[in-house]
Amino acid sequence: MGSASSPSSESHLDCDVLVLGGGPAGTWAALEAAKSGARVILADKGFCGTSGATAPSGTSVWYVPPDPERRHAAIVSREALGGHLADRAWSARVLDATYDGLNHLGERGYPFPLDEAGAPIRVSLQGPEYMRLMRKLVKGAGVRILDHSPALELLVDGGGAVAGARGIRRQQGDAWRVHAGAVVIATGGCAFLSRALGCTALTGDGHLMAAEAGADFSGMEFSNAYAIAAAFSSVTKTLFYKWATFTDAGGDEIPGAASNGGRSVIARHLQTGPVFARLDRADDAMRQSMRSAQPNFFLPFDRMGIDPFTQRFPVTLHLEGTVRGTGGLRIVDETCATGVPGLYAAGDAATRELICGGFTGGGSHNAAWAISSGRWAGRAAADHGRRAHTGAARQGAGTVGLRDAGARPFDPAEAARTVLAEVHPFERNYFRTEAGLGAALDRLDRQWEGLRAAAAADRDGVLRTREAAAMTAVARWMYRSALARTESRGMHRRMEHAGADPAQRHYLTSGGLDAVFVSRRPAPALATNGAEIAA
Amino acid sequence: MIEIVSPSRCTACNICVSACPTNVFDKTPGAPPVIARPDDCQTCFMCELYCPEDALYVSPKAGGWQGISEDDLVAAGTLGSYRAAIGWTAGTAELRRVDTMHRVLKGG
């Protein structure tokens, strides 16, 4: 059994597939695994149905009917923004799986709006409605849900295959241990405790657990997405600022400031003073459409007594890290396997470069990826999990906070603050430089060494300790990758290397705990025209 | 940040204790839940949506409270306003099917 000290009260469960994370990707994975007859357990850090970045918001979805021309146009339209790193074959697969998934959702009762002819319009989802339904479907499929049950580490068998996980139950004050034939990591991206909506629990926990079991990452340099929000608010909805006029403290319009293509101008201004917005470019019809499209966007304004269409309000940029970035666990095949036997990845925890390269403009592609990758990972995990040899000895793969590595105590809150100070500031993460990234890495590496020499955390401190360790690890993969990409591509921007370097149109693999590595992989061949896809 | 659990409306059903994704509330035997860890609140408003009694108020300020009273919220019709806006109250169910995002995506 595991070498870590076992809590006195630990519930022990067995299943074929354990899904970690109960957002869109995790629930789709659980549904698909259960559909194929597997015994499935889903463990959520919070509450499956309200957890994650999707539930409190609304999102467009990359839903395109199977018309070859429209599909082709959808695929090529975003290739330049993503720095030509997306893969057309993967994009086509995702469009297929998403179309099918959303149609299924409609059949299962999601209240899509109807057009004039009474046909459903399936290009967006309301987060509360969507995730409430997903919870219901998951439960109806016989999946056992463990709420408020964050995983702390993966369990591996003697051959290094992932064979379960263990964690704590926050509301019972005890622990769980699940032996599984396969595990799906669907724990979301890492947003470094910024105030971006729904991102507080997204601290890269799954990234750390997977790395401890031997998995690696791709595209971690594409991890510096910042979203626009009212300065007082958590509600990020960059799309709506397309209709904004941005002004400085004196009320003068800021030249070049825009939600897309001019967000760096906003960041520059925020470094020296306040920036204000007013959504005055929306006409009356659009104002009404916006209100009916996203009630959550208007809630903070209504409650503060601000009319965002007619009154100026201060704005800020919240870091969305890899949630709206595109880097994550590297996928090695079409089943969303990670390369570690028994371990699969889905949703924002996995790399989304395959469909959007180094940039996502909104939730659309990430939502499609969550549905698609969740379904593929769930199906493959069920196949693998049912065949996996059971009864093998398992041990915990976890490191920091779980096993005594020294006597040195440390404060997880202080460790978290140290990471945030390296990844939140625009001058470090938005406007990246060799000197800035190098200095940050020195400090982050030192912090990791300190964490590695620390004593195991106690029951009350173990979750925050693992979060701090995970954010430290994610930041190191991010910045080591960002240092290696000596160009600007997608959302990754290097101040001393403006523009993309054709010789660097490749993917970057990263990983490692004590020693972080970065290596190159070739990107798919550039299509000279789209005929092969349209055909 | 979660600001008010109305003692007059709350039935101590503890749905919010379960539904809060960041485990902000603690149950209290026979009484309304307490806001035990306000600093963990991510201002996502989900607890309000899941409260069947409209007993909760989340301040829109991500870093703090507004210092607003329940009487003022009731007078302004704010308690339960978000739940009604998304069609999750008895009289508003038709709003669940209202989503004009496709018009926003096409516009501008």
Neighbours of B39 (CB within 10 A): 8
Q: Give the CATH number for residue B42.
A: 3.30.70.20
Is pLDDT above 70 for A31?
yes
Is pLDDT above 50 for B27?
yes
Cβ-defined contact of B18 to A47 (cutoff 8 Å)? yes
Distance from CA of B52 to the nearest CA of A (A): 15
| pLDDT-derived band at A529, boundaries 50, 70, 90 | very low
The phi-psi region of residue A398 (left if phi > 0; otherwise alpha if psi is between -120 and 50; otherwise beta) is beta
pLDDT tens digits along A453-462: 998 999 889 9
Nearest CA in chain A to B79: A303
CA distance A338 to A16: 18
CA distance A510 to A456: 27
pLDDT number for residue A531: 40
Angle (CA) A411-A513-A427 rounded to 5° is 70
Q: Closest to B108 (Cβ–Cβ): which among A46, A121, A286?
A: A286
Nearest CA in chain B to A135: B19
| pLDDT-derived band at A534, boundaries 50, 70, 90 | very low
CA distance A101 to A222: 27
Say if residues B21 and A47 touch (Cβ distance below 8 Å).
Answer: yes
The phi-psi region of residue A356 (left if phi > 0; otherwise alpha if psi is between -120 and 50; otherwise beta) is alpha
Contact residues, chain B, for A299 at CB < 8 Å: 45, 60, 82, 85
Q: Closest to B44 (Cβ–Cβ): which among A56, A113, A124?
A: A56
- For residue A96, the SS3 value is helix
pLDDT tens digits along A288-318: 999 999 999 999 999 999 999 999 999 999 9
Domains of chain A: 10-223+322-396 (3.50.50.60), 230-320 (3.90.700.10), 412-498 (1.20.58.100)
Cβ-defined contact of B102 to A113 (cutoff 8 Å)? yes
Nearest CA in chain A to B17: A171
Distance from CA of B49 to the nearest CA of A (A): 8
Q: Chain-wide mean pLDDT for chain A?
A: 94
Number of domains in chain B: 1
pLDDT number for residue A533: 40
- Alpha helix (H) ranges present in A108-217? 127-140, 205-212
| pLDDT-derived band at A388, boundaries 50, 70, 90 | confident
Domain that holds residue B54: 2-106
Residue with tokens 């798919």: A524
Contact residues, chain A, for B14 at CB < 8 Å: none
pLDDT tens digits along A88-136: 999 999 999 999 999 999 999 999 999 999 999 999 999 999 999 999 9
CA distance A531 to B10: 62
Q: Which residue has the higher pLDDT, A221 or A533?
A: A221
Is pLDDT above 60 for A535?
no
- Alpha helix (H) ranges present in B1-108? 15-19, 46-50, 70-75, 81-85, 101-106
pLDDT number for residue A1: 34
* Strand residue runs (E) in A322-470: 328-329, 343-345, 394-396
pLDDT tens digits along A259-296: 988 999 999 999 999 999 999 999 999 999 999 999 99
pLDDT number for residue A390: 64
Nearest CA in chain B to A229: B62
Nearest CA in chain A to B99: A293
Chain A touched by B76 (CB under 8 Å):
no
Q: Tokens for A506, please give them.
A: 């490749």
Distance from CA of B59 to the nearest CA of A (A): 8
pLDDT tens digits along A481-510: 999 999 999 999 999 999 999 999 999 999
Per-residue pLDDT, averaged over A327-342, amounts to 98
| pLDDT-derived band at B63, boundaries 50, 70, 90 | confident
Is pLDDT above 70 for A403?
yes
Q: Closest to B82 (Cβ–Cβ): which among A50, A114, A295?
A: A295
Cβ-defined contact of B99 to A121 (cutoff 8 Å)? yes
Say if residues A379 and A36 touch (Cβ distance below 8 Å).
Answer: yes
Is pLDDT above 70 for A530?
no
Angle (CA) A175-A176-A180 rounded to 5° is 160
pLDDT number for residue A261: 86
Nearest CA in chain B to A242: B108
| pLDDT-derived band at A526, boundaries 50, 70, 90 | confident
Q: Closest to A170 (Cβ–Cβ): which among B23, B43, B85?
A: B23
What phi and psi, each to the nearest 5 degrees, are found at residue A239? Answer: -50, -40
Per-residue pLDDT, averaged over B66-95, amounts to 96
Chain A touched by B8 (CB under 8 Å):
no
Q: Closest to B62 (Cβ–Cβ): which among A113, A232, A242?
A: A232
Of B99, B26, B61, which is closest to residue A123 (Cα–Cα)? B99
pLDDT number for residue A8: 61
Per-residue pLDDT, averaged over A417-425, amounts to 98
Cβ-defined contact of A295 to B18 (cutoff 8 Å)? no
| pLDDT-derived band at A147, boundaries 50, 70, 90 | very high
